[in-house]
Amino acid sequence: MKRVLLLAWRYVAYHKGKTIILVACLTLTMVLPLTAHLLITHYGEALLARAQATPLIVGARGNRFDLVLKSLYFGSAHVDAIHMSEIEAVRDSGLGLPIPLHLEFTARKHPIVGTTPEYYEFRGLQVAAGSLPLRLGQALLGAHVAADLRLRPGDHLFSDQRSLYDIAKTYPLKMHVAGVLRETNTPDDDAVFVDIKTAWLIAGIVHGHQDVVHTTDDAVILRRDADNVMTNAAIVEYNEVTPENLATFHLHGTPADLPLSAIVVLPQDQKSATLLKARYGLSKTHRMLVPVQVVDELLGLVFRVKRFFDANFALITVSTALFLALVVLLSHRLRRREMQTMHKIGCSRMIVFWLQAAELGIVLVLSLGLAGGLAVAITAAVPRIVRLM
């Protein structure tokens, strides 16, 4: 058998053009289904792992997939806002720990996550350089954000302009980079974390401006009396928080009405989780979701679509196999004189059969190895390609 394999390898190596064409055709046929399988398996496991680590999510009633995907993976879908009063409601119930999330803004196309220090402990995030955001206007960068933007503690990062045509509507906030997180291979690597108050600062709910009580600039004062000072749009609002102007930042509105995108709830136990779900099941404006159930449903839809593509790949495989059989038959006719010579020198018909089978087997092994290597490389490179896009 070793001699048969040696002869088959010599034949395959000698006819390089024929071999390359066959290997290319078979590789292209196999690489797509292999890549699809690896990608779906990889991302399915990643989606489930993060969902399983997140017990409960509270948000406004609406599309449950949008709410879960935005809360877990910081997607671009819009979700209706809820209010800080829900934080107090969960906390006062004594049934779980609420962690607020504000997810409406971006910085250099990376999501800005407004939250509290409990989030870092919950996700097990550790600082690789610098520190957590300790002051209003500071930011903590995910590992991929810091690498892509080439930023480190002490640098600055601007939030993205929310309105392209109305530059007076909001000012991009100049954030001070306080630290960089260790890589976790989760969506946290691609996010910019700020204190929840900093997120409200970007929204304009919290802002700071020049001292209007003692200013002598009449161009910004509309009316002044003993209890109130009314200003116009000419007043200078700060787009950067510094030690000098920190005391001028203040809140407009009541704390209970401040907006949030969602709340991650860590229940005390299974009984507490059941009670919380029962309470929110009666709400007409809010809902509480179990992320793993929603992600399971979403993956179920994905696998249904995958079955359709698997059927398509099966048809392509059959057509490729028929093409390969045609090539073998034509090759056999072209090599008739060669086979006759082998019979004359003493080779049995079985040896000739195994010789052709070995040639085909070598081509299949080369194709499968190349297809597998390409599929693994594509799967590994997809996250990087997505970040570059």
Q: Find out whether 367 and 30 touch, Cβ atoms under 8 Å.
A: yes
Mean pLDDT across the chain: 81
pLDDT of residue 389: 44
N residues, the chain? 389
Query: Who has greater pLDDT, 66 or 3?
Result: 66
Q: What is the mean pLDDT of residues 243-269?
A: 84
For the segment 297-347, what is each residue's pLDDT rounded down to a tens digit? 888 877 777 777 777 777 877 877 787 777 777 777 766 777 767 766 767
pLDDT at 142: 95
CA distance 116 to 134: 11
Q: What's the rounded Cα separation, in Å, for the pair 260 and 85?
A: 10
Provide mean pLDDT across the span 115-140. Answer: 92
Q: How far apart are alpha carbons 157 and 60 in whole angstroms?
A: 30
pLDDT at residue 250 greater than cutoff 80: no
- Between CA 388 and CA 148 the distance in angstroms is 8
* More confident call, 325 vs 268: 268
Q: Cβ(260)–Cβ(81) under 8 Å?
A: yes
For the stretch 170-201, pLDDT in tens is 678 889 999 999 999 899 999 999 999 999 88
Q: Average the pLDDT over 38-63 and give the result.
A: 86
Side chain identity, residue 333: R
pLDDT band at 57 (very low <50, low <70, confident <90, very high): very high
d(CA 72, CA 178): 23
Residue 69 has pLDDT above 60, yes or no: yes
pLDDT at residue 70 above 70? yes
Q: For the residues of 256-275, what is the DSSP string, one character each?
A: GG-EESEEEEEESSHHHHHH
Question: What confidence tier does 129 reach under pLDDT thresholds 50, 70, 90?
Answer: very high
Q: Where residue 232 falls among pLDDT bands split at 50, 70, 90?
A: very low
**pLDDT confidence band for 273 (50 / 70 / 90):** very high
193, 199 contact by CB (below 8 A)? no
Give Dmax over CA atoms of the chain in angstroms: 118
Its pTM stands at 0.73
β-pair type (192-195, 138-141): antiparallel
